[in-house]
Amino acid sequence: MNQRILRTVYAAACLALGACQDTGPAANFDDGAWEFQVTSLWAEPEGGVANPTDPLDDADYTPVDDAAGWSLLVSDHRDTIALTDIADDTKTIDGTLGDPVGDRLHYDLTEGVFAGGRFEVWDDGFLRAELTIYGSGVPIAQSARGDLVQIIGL
CATH number at residue 125: 2.40.128
Confidence of residue 24 (pLDDT cuts 50, 70, 90): confident
The closest of 51, 94, 90 to 76, measured between CA atoms, is 94
How many domains does one find in the chain?
1
Q: Give a yes or no: residue 8 inside a domain.
A: no
Q: Give a yes or no: residue 67 inside a domain.
A: yes
Q: Give a yes or no: residue 52 inside a domain.
A: yes
For residue 68, give its domain range.
26-151
The CA-CA-CA angle for residues 101, 31, 8, to 5°, reads 75
Q: Give a yes or no: residue 15 inside a domain.
A: no
In DSSP terms, which residues pair with 48 in a beta bridge? none
Confidence of residue 36 (pLDDT cuts 50, 70, 90): very high
Cα–Cα distance between 33 and 127 in angstroms, integer? Answer: 14
Cα–Cα distance between 94 and 73 in angstroms, integer? Answer: 10
Q: Give a yes or no: residue 20 inside a domain.
A: no
Cα–Cα distance between 109 and 154 in angstroms, integer? Answer: 25
* pLDDT value of position 154: 57
Residue-averaged pLDDT of the chain: 85
Q: Are 83 and 36 in contact (CB under 8 A)?
A: yes
Q: Give a yes or no: residue 19 inside a domain.
A: no
Helix, strand, coil content of the chain in percent (nearest 5):
10, 45, 45
Q: Give a yes or no: residue 30 inside a domain.
A: yes
Q: Give a yes or no: residue 140 inside a domain.
A: yes
Average pLDDT over residues 64-89: 95
- 3-class secondary structure, 49: coil
Main-chain dihedrals φ then ψ at residue 60, nearest 5 degrees? -90, 10
